[in-house]
């Protein structure tokens, strides 16, 4: 699939998504849930106009990531991993469109007000995104926009390749943790769930930087 065709289809999806929000907008209450606690209960509220902002985000993000490669000093390298970037754009757009409906789904009782289904959907969706991206990370070539962009990786192609391979492993692990937590969050409890999430996401991110530095100083052969 060529880039222009993909951008057209993803842009169309964003417009259909926005049109759906606009169609339901008049029937929404003046205040809508915009944040949910661990128990799935709304614990943050905002004016219904906030939905228009959320509904516009998928298109804004798609536009941003469509333009960034042209501004990237190493933008020519995107031609070497176009299939991976297309997969990323699809995952990002679909995930953002899905998340944008959480307020309406809660207002119209499509999602139960109790339980942790909202958090499970978000964590599970993000986990799937990380799992898929992790499998493609080693194919990403040097650039300043996409991938594990440590200072040492950006300055050395060998370091970049090693860092992306490790990043792929870390992304798969983080994705698996998010998927497991999304299923067993109720059994694990709030404290353990948050500990696992922070440990996986922050720990994984820190390890990627540490690994890239160790490759830089020659400690990783």
- pLDDT tens digits for 40-61? 778 889 999 999 999 999 999 9
Residue 73 sits at φ, ψ, to 5 deg, of: -55, -25
Note the pTM of the prediction, 2 decimals: 0.87
Average pLDDT, the chain: 90
Residues in CB range of 41: below 8 A, 6 or more apart: 113, 114
Is 96 in the same domain as 168? no
Same domain for 86 and 57: yes
Interacting residues of 59 by C-beta distance below 8 A, sequence separation 6+? 11, 14, 15, 18
- The CA distance from 94 to 58, in Å, is 8
Q: For residue 161, how far is the Cα from the chain centroid?
A: 22
pLDDT of residue 151: 96
Mean pLDDT, rounded, for 132-157: 96
Q: Could you list the residue range(s) of the whole structural domain that residue 50 is in?
A: 1-111
Instruction: Please check whether residues 95 and 162 belong to one and the same domain.
Output: no
On whether both 106 and 171 belong to a single domain, the answer is no
Residue 217 and residue 126 share a domain: yes
Same domain, 121 and 191: yes
Residues 105 and 163 in one domain: no
Q: Are residues 136 and 203 in the same domain?
A: yes
Q: Is pLDDT at 204 greater than 80 in this prediction?
A: yes
Q: How far apart are CA 173 and CA 168, in angstroms?
A: 9
Question: Average of pLDDT values for 138-167?
Answer: 96
Q: Which two tokens stand for residue 192?
A: 């353990």
Query: In this structure, are 142 and 99 located in the same domain?
Result: no
How many domains is the chain partitioned into structurally? 2
Domain stop point among 89, 111, 133: 111
């Amino acid at each position: 699939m060529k880039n222009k065709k993909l951008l057209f289809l993803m842009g169309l999806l964003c417009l259909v998504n926005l049109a759906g929000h606009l169609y339901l907008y008049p029937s929404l209450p003046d205040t809508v849930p915009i944040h949910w606690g661990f128990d799935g209960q709304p614990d943050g509220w905002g004016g219904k106009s906030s939905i228009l902002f959320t509904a516009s985000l998928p298109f804004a993000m798609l536009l941003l990531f469509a333009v960034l490669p042209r501004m990237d000093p190493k933008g020519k390298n995107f031609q070497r991993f176009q299939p991976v970037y297309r997969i990323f754009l699809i995952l990002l757009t679909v995930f953002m469109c899905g998340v944008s409906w959480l307020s309406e789904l809660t207002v119209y009782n499509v999602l139960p007000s109790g339980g942790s289904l909202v958090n499970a959907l978000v964590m599970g969706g993000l986990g799937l995104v990380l799992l898929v991206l992790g499998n493609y990370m080693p194919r990403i070539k040097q650039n300043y926009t996409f991938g594990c962009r440590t200072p040492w990786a950006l300055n050395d192609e060998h370091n970049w390749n090693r860092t992306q391979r490790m990043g792929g492993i870390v992304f798969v692990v983080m994705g698996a943790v998010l998927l497991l937590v999304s299923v067993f969050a109720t059994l694990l409890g709030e404290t353990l769930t948050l500990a696992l999430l922070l440990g996986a996401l922050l720990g994984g991110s820190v390890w990627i930087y540490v690994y890239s530095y160790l490759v830089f100083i020659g400690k990783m052969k």
